[in-house]
Chain A
């Protein structure tokens, strides 16, 4: 019961916030609506037992990505010297495409969620022997990240370094 109430409250936050992101005229207000959406998504993560991911979401998305977005908004406003008013165009085409995408994904979701029953394999996952006695979400997350998923983990760090250098090179002024 409590989960149902929480889910629908968060879902309302997410949907109205997302509509705010795509319809607001003021770019700064769009960024603030995006913050509401991201926090509500973090709430959904907690609802699904992904506490560590919820904190990552709050720290990285709301803390870092959103600050970058607000910086970009303020910098571009400063360069032009005038406030940006957002104009939407192609509203009809956009709406039709969005409805098409939604009906496609929703019909797929209803088909797929019946196709895959919960995973009930009798073969014991070998990684479970490492997770013996692990009680919290964070501990399991860390162990998995440094054993089974160590290669993607290292790749992600190199990837972030490349993105950092790339952003510096692109945003640097010419002289």
Chain B
């Protein structure tokens, strides 16, 4: 049995849906951001696997470069997201997203 494209697609679908479950069931803002990282990684697995299986010339690595930009995006998201978490924590003394309701009017 050889590993094909569909194996990678199924694996990344599993990882993505675990991230969805985490986002819906967790209340802690830091845990939510971790689940976002899981989902971004699922996307990266997809991009790299598609690049390998659908592009016979290994030198055209569009998928890998796209995955690198997704990693850049994830780094920026983590940086800003955790800064927001720290700011909210300092101002409100709470971190559970269902208790942060000052935007509700």
Residues of chain A having any CB pair with chain B under 8 Å: 3-4, 7, 11, 14-15, 18-19, 21-22, 27, 30-31, 34, 37-38, 41, 44-45, 48-50, 52-53, 56-57, 60-61, 64-65, 68-69, 71-73, 75-76, 79-80, 84, 86-91, 93-95, 97-99, 101-102, 105-106, 109-110, 112-113, 116, 118-120, 125, 127-128, 131, 134, 137, 140-141, 144-145, 149, 152, 156, 159-160, 163-164, 166-168, 170-171, 173
The answer to whether A69 and B30 have CB atoms under 8 Å apart is: yes
30 contacts between A and B (CB under 8 A): A15-B14, A15-B18, A18-B19, A21-B18, A21-B22, A22-B19, A22-B31, A27-B28, A34-B34, A44-B45, A64-B75, A72-B82, A76-B89, A80-B93, A87-B27, A93-B25, A97-B20, A102-B14, A109-B9, A113-B4, A137-B61, A141-B65, A144-B65, A145-B68, A156-B72, A159-B73, A160-B76, A163-B75, A163-B79, A166-B83
